[in-house]
Amino acid sequence: MVRWLICSALLGCGSPSVAGDDVKDTSKVQKTDAEWRASLTAEQYRILREKGTERAFSGKYWDSKAEGVYSCGGCGQALFSSDHKFRSGTGWPSFYQAISASALANEADNALWMTRTEILCSRCGGHLGHVFPDGPPPTGKRFCVNGNALNFQAKEKVR
């Protein structure tokens, strides 16, 4: 409880879990290279583990308008909601915010003769894409994500 109070006061963390709450496992996922290769498709491995990029307008979900949650293709952690998806015109799924602040990790990417901010799954370290400061309100951010780094779970329709 003391850890939560410190975390809450300094970092704005969520409330502590209570016994019986529906809490997901947030422990880090660590696999050997062979285990990653066995659990991912060749394209997923190239993107998530080798920091690859799919061609624009070629990956899954770039033009999807379905409602639901996008999760990491490597470990299944929820990353983005369709509520935050927007049409950026770039050919990749784009979101203006993550599903939670703790879902993503950032890393400087100095490849291609420029500095960009790479986004990674905070749970398995899988490469997702990059974040840019040219998105819509309210955040002004554009999380440009490789569709093949994601899985999608459609929202259940209420009858």
The domain that holds 55 is classified in CATH as 2.170.150.20
What is the C-alpha separation between 64 and 83, in angstroms, rounded? 12
pLDDT digits (tens, 9 = 90+) for 48-97: 999 999 999 999 899 999 999 999 999 999 999 999 999 999 999 999 99
Structure confidence at residue 32 (pLDDT): 95
Number of domains in the chain: 1
Evaluate whether residue 36 is within a structural domain. no
Host domain of residue 49: 43-154
Sign of CA dihedral 127, 132, 136, 139: positive
Q: What is the pTM of this model?
A: 0.80
| pLDDT > 90: percent of the chain | 76
Evaluate whether residue 27 is within a structural domain. no
Give the H or E element holding residue 79: strand 78-81
Q: Confidence band (pLDDT; 50, 70, 90) for 5?
A: very low
Evaluate whether residue 54 is within a structural domain. yes
Evaluate whether residue 140 is within a structural domain. yes
Cβ atoms of 96 and 138 within 8 Å: the answer is yes
Segment among 1-5, 39-43, 96-100, 113-117 with least mean pLDDT: 1-5
Cβ atoms of 80 and 95 within 8 Å: the answer is yes
Residue 144 designated active-site = yes
Evaluate whether residue 8 is within a structural domain. no
Query: Buried (b) or exposed (e) across 36-61, using 16+ Cβ within 10 A?
Result: beeebeebbbbbbbebebbeeeebbb
Segment among 11-15, 92-96, 99-103, 132-136 with least mean pLDDT: 11-15
Catalytic, out of 72, 75, 124, 144: 144
